[in-house]
Amino acid sequence: MIIVIDFGSQFNQLIARRVREHNVYCQVEPADISIEKIKELNPNGIILSGGPASIYEKDSPRLDTALFDMGIPVLGICYGMHYMVHALGGEIQKADKREYGFAQLNIVKENALFKGMETGFQCWMSHGDSAVELPKDFIVTASTDNTKIAAIANTEKRLYGLQLHPEVEHSVNGSQMIRHFLFDVCGCEKNWSMKSFCDGAVAQIKEAVGDKKVIMGLSGGVDSSVAATLIHRAIGKNLHCIFVDNGVLRKNEKKSLETNLTKSLDLNIQFVDARKKFLSALKGVTDPETKRKIIGNLFIDVFDEQAGKIDGAEFLGQGTLYPDIIESKSAFGGPTSIIKSHHNVGGLPEKMKLKLIEPLQLLFKDEVRKLGLELGINDELIWRQPFPGPGLAIRIMGEITQARLDILREADAVLLEEIRSAGLYRELWQSFAVLLPIKSVGVMGDKRTFANCIAIRAVTSNDAMTADWAKLSHDLLGKISNRIINEVENINRVVFDITSKPPGTIEWE
Ligand code: XMP
């Protein structure tokens, strides 16, 4: 196994994921991990992540320097390399020219990490500090125009440093550098797979929960379904699921959950119809964050009340993924810059005083899908597009009323049907309809109309952190528009959203 030491980089889980992609088990540990704990974990190698700090800042993260004398190979990335250089007697300085973005990396000395690579290629840099003097027995192995010491090595001690970020997709050969470190330097074996993750997670849940009960909210989406199936595999009937109909779900949500999940899995599940409660709490509310808070808080109340009927529950299962965690608190753990309040992170556990079970919290969405397939969940559920907790409430601009919900639900169903029959459903990260707060004039059957407007939103993305608007064909857009206007009452205009994220977000509120 490999340990990634978290020096605060927004990429540390990405490093872990890159290691897993090479079928090697990997664990992210905090920077204050003790040498004893490292010995106990007995890793084949250690990767020190980057981080936002400068090595000479008073509170910059540091490890016990005994790390470098353990005979375990170490790869330091960006701040991780600065830390290695500094700890072993070299020098780091604020660079004359900061380097953000692409740079041409020139290999000056071949070594295990760069084995078989051409002498120059593009890499991705993000640093203000640079190494200016190497520790004893280290050599420079690569440079860029701005950074003379862009990669270093002490091959005898198996210590390596990269100023560039091999974990990001834009670094050509980045994945190979990691592969060489894992197999040629650390001697790892390819023995990690989704099956072993699944077996390990089941064993861990069994051990943590024992014969106690876990309660969990099911939304019908991929994340909660995969998490519930995994927990169910570990503890069977001691998992109690609750499905809350909050009145802002899409058309046929309950039916789809019943056909896709509960039919194949003998789940304990309670359906709660809380539509009226949510709609009356949302009456007259137009502010997006207020809508989100109302829905989040009311969900907690309804769930709490329902959970109270289950005797002796000690755990709360959640399908939180890694990107949910970084979007809800800042990646640097510092002052938070919450973009939107995603209600599935936090809230419930504090109120209910339950211990959390979040078996997916280190995974990215595509990994969760692989895990779902491993668990035998059907394709249709696995490939469902994400749907936000606050549901259609954040896709109706302005006030939410039953009539407006009915309009949006129908329009959304038509849109999804067309996207599916065009064979695009899986390719798109999300595709949905938004109901705008304006009416416009039209003419239908020789009659003047003054009716609502629907926006089509369709995006491609890998992880929802960034997204591009999908280049849907004009034919398809025309078909969707025609069908919505013909089949959904009170709509006389359809527009197409051509905004990427950033600067837009995927949802409109
Ligand atoms: P934004 O709109 O922030 O959305 O670009 C990024 C992804 O997150 C989903 N989303 C949510 N998911 N609870 C959720 O479970 C929420 O409150 C929430 N808000 C947004 C959104 O659909 C997209 O996939």
34 and 181 in a single domain? The answer is: yes
Mark whether 157 and 285 lie in a shared domain.
no
In this prediction, residue 335 carries a pLDDT of: 25
User: What's residue 27's pLDDT?
Assistant: 84
| 388 part of a folded domain | no
**Is residue 100 located within the same domain as residue 133?**
yes
Q: Which of 159, 152, 190 is nearest to 19 (CA)?
A: 190
Same domain as 118, residue 6? yes
Ligand 1 centroid distance, CA of 388 (Å): 5
Predicted pLDDT at 9: 84
8 within domain boundaries: yes
In this predicted structure, the answer to whether residue 70 has a pLDDT above a threshold of 60 is yes
pLDDT score for 343: 46
Please give the pLDDT value at position 338.
Answer: 37
Single-letter amino acid code for the residue at 448: R
> Could you tell me if 201 and 175 lie in one domain?
no
Which residue among 136, 157, 185 closes a domain?
185
The CB-side HSE value for 376 (13 A sphere, CA atoms) comes to 8
Does 180 share its domain with 312?
A: no
Q: Residue 322: inside a domain, yes or no?
A: yes
299 Cβ neighbours under 8 A, 6+ residues apart: 217, 244, 246, 343, 389
> Which structure tokens are listed for 437?
């707060």
Question: 226 or 340: whose pLDDT is higher?
Answer: 226
pLDDT at 323: 65
In a domain, 507, yes or no: no
Q: Is residue 391 part of a domain?
A: no
Q: Are residues 316 and 448 in the same domain?
A: no
Domain hosting residue 375, numbered range = 194-382
Report CA(251)–ligand 1 centroid distance (Å). 19
User: Both 222 and 153 in a single domain?
Assistant: no
Ligand 1 neighbour 343 (Cβ under 6 A) = yes
Instruction: Indicate the pTM of the whole model.
Output: 0.78
Token duo for residue 33: 């991990």
Q: What is the pLDDT of residue 95?
A: 81
Contact 4, 47 (CB under 8 A): yes
Number of H helices, E strands in the chain: 15, 18
Q: Among residues 336, 353, 382, which one ends one of the domains?
A: 382
CA of 190 to the centre of ligand 1 (A): 35
Q: Does 319 sit in the ligand 1 pocket, CB within 6 Å? A: no
394 domain-assigned: no
Rounded distance between C-alpha atoms, residue 327 and residue 340, angstroms: 8
Can you give the CATH number for the domain in which 84 is found?
Answer: 3.40.50.880
Does residue 205 share a domain with residue 167?
A: no
* The ligand 1 atom nearest the CA atom of 390: 17
pLDDT at 346: 53
Q: Which residue has the higher pLDDT, 366 or 165?
A: 165
Q: How far apart are CA 161 and CA 154, in angstroms?
A: 9
Over residues 245-266, mean pLDDT:
89
For 347, residues 6+ apart whose C-beta sits below 8 A from its C-beta are 296, 297, 300
Residue 293 near ligand 1, beta carbon < 6 Å: no
Based on the structure, what is the number of domains in the chain? 3
pLDDT at 353: 78
- Determine the distance separating the centroid of ligand 1 and the alpha carbon of 340, expressed in angstroms: 8
Which atom of ligand 1 lies closest to the CA of 219? 15
Q: Pick the catalytic residue from 26, 78, 188, 198.
A: 78
- HSE-CB at 234 with a 13 A cutoff on CA atoms is 27
pLDDT of residue 65: 93
Tell me the best of 340, 429, 466, 508 to mutate to test the pocket of ligand 1, counting ligand atoms within 8 Å of each CB and taking the most. Answer: 340
CA distance 323 to 429: 14
The C-alpha atoms of residue 497 and residue 458 are separated, in whole angstroms, by 8
Indicate the pLDDT class of residue 329, thresholds 50, 70 and 90. Answer: very low
In a domain, 247, yes or no: yes
Could you tell me whether strands 45-48 and 159-162 are parallel, antiparallel, or unpaired per DSSP bridges? Answer: unpaired
**Does residue 508 sit within a domain?**
no
Across the range 280-306, mean pLDDT stands at 95
Cα separation of 487 and 360, whole Å? 40
Tens digit of each residue's pLDDT (9 = 90 or more) over 31-40: 989 999 999 9
Tell me the pLDDT band of 354, cut-offs 50, 70 and 90. Answer: confident
Residues 6+ apart with CB under 8 A from 290: none
386 CB less than 6 Å from ligand 1? yes
- When the pLDDT of each residue in the chain is averaged and rounded to a whole number, the result is 91
239 and 103: one domain?
A: no
Q: Is the CB of 340 under 6 A from ligand 1?
A: yes
Q: Of 185, 213, 239, which marks where a domain is finished?
A: 185
Query: Distance between CA atoms of 214 and 491, rounded to whole angstroms?
Result: 45
What is the structure's pLDDT at 326? 54
Q: Can you give the pLDDT at residue 325?
A: 61
Residue 165 bears catalytic tag: yes
492-499: average pLDDT: 97
CATH number of the domain residue 441 falls in: 3.30.300.10
With residue 216 as reference, give the H or E element that holds it: strand 213-217
Q: What SS3 state is found at 41?
A: helix
Q: Give the residue, out of 321, 431, 506, with the most ligand 1 atoms within 8 A of its beta carbon, to mutate for a pocket test.
A: 506
Percent of the chain with pLDDT over 70: 94
pLDDT band at 336 (very low <50, low <70, confident <90, very high): very low
Could you tell me which of 64, 92, 77 has the C-alpha nearest to residue 159? 77
Same domain, 154 and 91: yes
How many alpha carbons lie under 13 Å from residue 382 in its C-beta half-sphere? 14
- Looking at the chain, the whole-number percentage of residues with pLDDT higher than 90 is 76
| pLDDT at site 502 | 82
Confidence of residue 489 (pLDDT cuts 50, 70, 90): very high
- The least confident of 57-66, 92-101, 117-126 is 92-101
Q: Residues near 211 by Cβ (< 8 Å), separated by ≥ 6?
A: 238
pLDDT at 508 > cutoff 80? yes
pLDDT tens-digit map of 407-420: 999 999 999 999 99
- What mean pLDDT is predicted for residues 453-469? 90
Q: CA distances (Å), 161 to each of 28, 112, 306, in order? A: 18, 12, 53
Question: Coil, helix or strand for 192?
Answer: coil
Residues 175, 264, single domain; the answer is: no
